[in-house]
Chain A
Amino acid sequence: MVRFSDGEGSQQDQKFRMNRRKFLKAGAASALTAGMVGAMKALPAEAAEAAANATGVQNGAKSKLHPTADYGGAGVKFVEHNDQWLGTTKIVGNIKNIHEGDTGFSQANRGKYGPDAQKGYYHYHFVMKHPFNGAIASFALSLAPDFMVSGIPSPQKLRIPDPEQMSQHIKDCAYFLRADEVGIGKMPPYAYYSHKAPSQDDLIKDDLSNSVPVTERLPYVIVVMIDQHLETMLASTGYDGISAAQSMRSYHTTGVISVILANYIRNLGYNARAHHFTNYAAVMAPCIMAAGLGELSRTGDCVAHPRLGFRHKVAAVTTDLPLVPDKPIDFGLLDFCRVCGKCADNCPSGAITHDKDMVEYNGYLRWNSNFQKCTEFRVTNKDGSSCGRCMKVCPWDSKEQSWFHTAGTWIGSKGEASSRLLKQIDDMFGYGDEQIEKYKWWLEWPERYGLPTN
């Protein structure tokens, strides 16, 4: 007996088989066409580029070498430049330009923090006492002379593209020179020092009479940022022999990049001055915020980047080269720092405040950390060379790149409740305050870590 349904089923089967065959043919034809198009390079370059860059965040002019900004998973909002805020830092009054001689290390050199701090700082003893750290710092000092950082621009202005393309090009120059992050900002006028400090020999006599006024006011600042090296930080206590070398690693590399960039811009016929570890005419923290590379953290002066935290150092170039500035960023760091306080819990000098709220300082709001205590500890540290314990323990700084840390930083950037959760998870898994011995590659000379005897 032939059942009707059998015949219907076989017809359906045949129909299905035909459909599948058609589907396979269509698939093969599409693949072949796509392959031929690819082989012939028939797609216009612009279309391919648009497809490749369809996703991802960018701030300001797009670099060709780093077309999307890497914020390590953090939810980042862009903030407009204005007079009341620098990124997420609230400006509540008139910010005065400060004298370089009044910064922490200069105060130590002037004897304001006592004789031990003065001895510890004099001629960078606190860095030079470790031979490796001293070797890097000595190189960085070779970038210090004024002719390295500034000069007269070429009398003939070379032909350059529009500001958008020029900004892209300048970013690519910095990435080519091995910067980890680059940003361009509107130069805040208050970021300039009022005066350059005099020589170390004058400072030690507390004589500021030979200070040089800083008169430069250029409209843009290019900030280059270099990582202080994750594995080294994971192996370090944060205040052992390698601590200053981590800073010097980033100081000397950013210094080199900034000097070359400034030279290049002057060769194009525009004014440019490099600012780096051994020759600043400006404070770097506001420059970093203006260039969209971070927010001011609980430490009071360290600016954290969404991916690197404040495990970085920067140098800058101020210039009048026509550029398109990036926007300052907000990734929820203030909410995070308000509930975290891990840096304050772990600071060996007790310099970082546990306060919940910020205080007014020189016309802006920041956490009330004690820079005297911080400087004193760094220049007199008998367990090593300088200190970066806050950097080591900060949940934003202490991680390798992985899917769960990306998820973690996304959580941490979403307000106080989620920040509290991230802090608890960070503590539960023991991140930040561990020393991973397998990465400890450097040598220690503890007998050299005391203060100089003469």
Chain B
Amino acid sequence: MGTILVFLAGILFLAGILFIKPRAKQDLKWKTVVNWVLYVLWYAITGIGISFIYINSSVGHVKATSTAIFLFLGLSLVIAIILARLLGFLGKTRKEINPSIKA
């Protein structure tokens, strides 16, 4: 089970890299670095959080489970939103599909 989960985690990590790669490269190098650093950070926090929540809930640590849900998944969500904004998944104005359709 553990081996399968590690394999799955690795596959998801690589899939994430392939997914953001076309958008990660920016005109300035530091922006590209920020994108990748945020991706690794987001992945690590999400992975740690899921593992932490799973183990604590299976043992029965109620407060640890609920605190971890807020802490790790909250952080994960915040970083995911920032990353999505930097990569252009969020907040870009929509391109007009047909500029001729105007009132």
Binding site for B on A (CB under 8 A): 234, 400, 402-404, 428-431, 434, 436-439
Contacts and interface: CB of A to CB of B under 8 A. Distances in A.
21 contacts: A234-B59, A400-B55, A400-B59, A404-B48, A404-B52, A404-B55, A428-B67, A429-B56, A429-B64, A429-B67, A430-B63, A430-B64, A430-B67, A431-B61, A431-B64, A436-B59, A436-B60, A436-B61, A436-B62, A437-B60, A438-B60
A404 B48 CA distance: 9
Contacts of B20: none
Contacts of B63: 429-430, 434
A438 B61 CA distance: 11
Contacts, number: 34
Interface string B19-62: 00000000000000000000000000000100110011001111
A429 B68 contact: yes
Nearest to A402: B55
Contacts of A402: 55
Interface of B: 48, 51-52, 55-56, 59-64, 67-68
B55 A434 contact: no
A397 to B, nearest CB: 14
Majority secondary structure of chain B interface residues (helix, strand, loop or mixed): helix
B60 A439 contact: yes
A429 B51 CA distance: 15
A234, A429, A436: residue with the most chain B Cβ atoms closer than 10 Å? A429
A234, A430, A439: residue with the most chain B Cβ atoms closer than 10 Å? A430
Given A402-B55, A403-B51, A429-B61, 12 more contacts: A234-B59, A400-B55, A400-B59, A404-B48, A404-B51, A404-B55, A429-B67, A430-B61, A430-B64, A434-B62, A434-B63, A436-B62
A430 B65 CA distance: 10
Contacts of A430: 61-64, 67
A141 B48 CA distance: 48
Nearest to B71: A428
Contacts of A234: 59-60
A42 B35 CA distance: 51
Pairs A-B, 9 closest by C-beta atoms: A430-B63, A429-B64, A436-B60, A402-B55, A400-B59, A438-B60, A429-B67, A404-B52, A430-B64
Nearest to B55: A402
Nearest to A438: B60
A430 B67 CA distance: 9
B103 to A, nearest CB: 53
A437 B61 CA distance: 10
